[in-house]
Amino acid sequence: MIDNIYRELVGILNRKETAILITVIKTEGSVPNKVGAKMLLWPDGKTFGTVGGGTQEAVALKEAEKIFQSREPGLLTLDLIPGKPASVGSICGGNLTLYLEPINMTQKLVIFGCGHVGLEVYKFAKMLDFEVTIIDDREDFANTERFPLADRIICKDFIEGVKDIKFDSDTFVLIVTKGHAHDYVVLKSILALEDEPAYIGMIGSRKKVKTLFDQLRAEGIPHEKLSNIYSPVGLDIGGDSPAEIAISILSEIIKVKYERSGRSLRDEV
């Protein structure tokens, strides 16, 4: 079973999936499994392996689900002695400690557009350990020479590029293409999908954004979907160079990622 767990782990890493690895790291008294027993949990509830079954495993899985949100590893000690206030209901008579470990929790940034701003955002995003995908329809821009550290480069029509991406709550999207028409196509294609990214930011002036949003509303895109778009993109920190704009954009992405206000810490004192 342990060998099978490791094979599953390799598959998770190769497929760049997200999962939680639950491992028994300590036992005392009579328990249903030994130190080293492992179990995997996927975001959709699928599991592989076991750490003992029964109520203790159900409690462990419930705790593991929280890690998909916190993204931090944790320890969980389960009391299996019946009658004790903290008991999880098992009759084994011992207790066990589990280590809950997030696997492949790197968040993804998909950049539509390989111009000056897209390039600078990519550079800073790699410093922040994002898994970065670059999408553009120009071979002179979407290539490994320009983006040597990109995790994935897709050089094709933007609509086809959208189809190549699996959008989920770990995906941040930035739309900075070569023109208004392409921004519109990308945004409309993403909004038509069932799964929503954690963040969609689109560059543009207030006038351009209003025009584009009015067009999308006229075509039936619900207001609530448009209200979730960060556009004009970025925090108001000043600066108009590509690097400064990139810092503004990534500051907003980080703010959304950690659900913070974005205010100066001085104002919090």
Look up residue 167 and give its DSSP letter: -
Determine whether 44 is exposed, middle or buried from the number of CB atoms within 10 Å of its CB (0-12, 13-18, 19+). exposed
CA 135 – CA 158 distance, rounded (Å): 7
The CATH number of residue 158's host domain is 3.40.50.720
Range 151-163 burial, b when 16+ CB lie within 10 A, else e: eebbbeebeebbe
Determine whether 246 is exposed, middle or buried from the number of CB atoms within 10 Å of its CB (0-12, 13-18, 19+). buried
Choosing from 87, 103, 119, the residue where a domain stops is 103
Q: Are 159 and 187 in contact (CB under 8 A)?
A: no
pLDDT band at 81 (very low <50, low <70, confident <90, very high): low
State residue 89's pLDDT score.
Answer: 53
Residues 85 and 128 in one domain: no
Residues 250 and 125 in one domain: yes
Residues 134 and 207 in one domain: yes
Other beta carbons within 10 angstroms of residue 252's beta carbon come to 21
Residues 185 and 241 in one domain: yes
Q: Tell whether 131 is covered by a domain.
A: yes
Q: Tell whether 250 is covered by a domain.
A: yes
Domains held by the chain: number: 2
Residues 42 and 136 in one domain: no
State residue 87's pLDDT score.
Answer: 46
Choosing from 38, 68, 103, the residue where a domain stops is 103
Average pLDDT of the residues in 55-64: 91
Least confident of 60-74, 134-148, 220-234, 245-259: 60-74
Instruction: Tell me the whole-structure pTM to 2 decimals.
Output: 0.74
**pLDDT (tens digit per residue) in 252-268:** 999 999 889 999 988 87
State residue 1's pLDDT score.
Answer: 60
| pLDDT higher than threshold 90 for residue 102 | yes
Domain membership of residue 229 as a residue range: 108-260
**pLDDT (tens digit per residue) in 175-220:** 999 999 999 999 999 999 988 899 999 999 999 999 999 999 999 9
Mean pLDDT of the chain: 91
Residues 161 and 232 in one domain: yes
Choosing from 86, 103, 120, the residue where a domain stops is 103
Residues 212 and 161 in one domain: yes
CA 84 – CA 257 distance, rounded (Å): 40
Residues 52 and 132 in one domain: no
Q: Tell whether 267 is covered by a domain.
A: no
Residue/partner pairs of 150-155 with CB below 8 Å, 24 or more apart: 150/122
